[in-house]
Amino acid sequence: MRYNLFAGLLALPLLGCGSDPADNEGATTVGATTTGATTSTGSAGTGGAGGESPGCAQAAAPDVTDVSGTWAYRAVGSQLTQAQGLPPFQTRIVSVMLITQQQNGDAISLQGTYCDHYTEDPDAIVHAVIPDSFREALAPVTREGTFAVSEGGLRYKLGPLHEVIGAALGDPAQDELPTDPADARVVDQDEDGHPGMTVQLQGLIDGSVYVAERARTELDGVAVATDRIEGRLGFVSEQSVLETDPPSLKATMAASRTYPDPEECNSTFVMVRTTDDADCAWIKERADTLFQ
């Protein structure tokens, strides 16, 4: 799988997306991937999760009252990357998971395993190749939410989840990301001998980038059928570039800016009910049609 980047402007939104600097006044460094610093980024789209309406889904199916079971999940976060003097280009960040979900009354709990994680960026001419070891190192997730009557119908909502890669934080939601590869909190999560998680660059720029990152996601949607849930994905992300190889890549990475896609319905999620024996191989084999 690949992350595609634009002509050496190396914004690497591994688990989340970027923001307009105006949305992050007071942050250390806003809307850019920088050398030896973290990047605080804002919520994607104009609404984010938890707004007045999912907006991006069809009407809820009134006969769906239980969403327990095994599900294939696909989330897409859309962002724009801006280079100096050039028009922005769109990147779609895609996460695919296998989810087992339980419902008790209005309460939902789920466990999820990453099956795939990549970007779609046809306009890019520099590619960052994500090794299998990166995806395989992404930790399973556990989260809670509700499937309850809200604003006239049943709504599917999952509250904030903070995922941290490449670092071990005491408070995943609040602690600052490490910026120094010698920081004791840095974790070689993909076990390749380098700090954090490794992204390999190929094309006009060859090399590797070692990062730590925190992503925050929320889901707000509806069950449009007994076997399908759709809605809006809200997310924020923060990234720290720990090292690069060659070291000169650090200066290059300071040049880009990332912004939320103003079209909130470009950042969405879809869940499709599967048989209980489905696995990641089954989902990936059918991904092209499963989520349509």
pLDDT score at 225: 95
Provide the 3-class DSSP secondary structure of residue 286: helix
> How many Cβ atoms sit within 10 Å of the Cβ of residue 200?
17
The residue-averaged pLDDT of 160-169 equals 96
Distance between CA atoms of 257 and 39, rounded to whole angstroms? 10
Residue 216 CA neighbour count, 13 Å, CB half:
16
pLDDT tens per residue across span 64-82: 999 999 999 999 888 777 7
Digit-coded pLDDT (tens) for 187-246: 999 999 999 999 888 777 789 999 999 888 899 999 999 999 999 998 777 888 899 999
CB 220 within 8 A of CB 49: yes
The top-scoring range by mean pLDDT among 1-10, 140-149, 205-214 is 140-149
Contact between 108 and 147 (Cβ < 8 Å): yes
DSSP code per residue over 29-63? SBSS--BTSEEE---SSSS-TTSS---SS-PPPTT
Q: Residue 151: pLDDT band by 50, 70, 90 thresholds?
A: confident
pTM greater than the 0.75 cutoff: yes
- Alpha carbon distance 251, 124 (integer Å): 20
Residues 282 and 161: their CA atoms lie apart, in Å, by 26
pLDDT on residue 109: 97
264: helix, strand or coil: helix
The answer to whether residue 184 scores a pLDDT higher than 60 is yes
Q: How far, CA to CA in Å, does 268 sit from each of 78, 222, 235?
A: 9, 12, 10
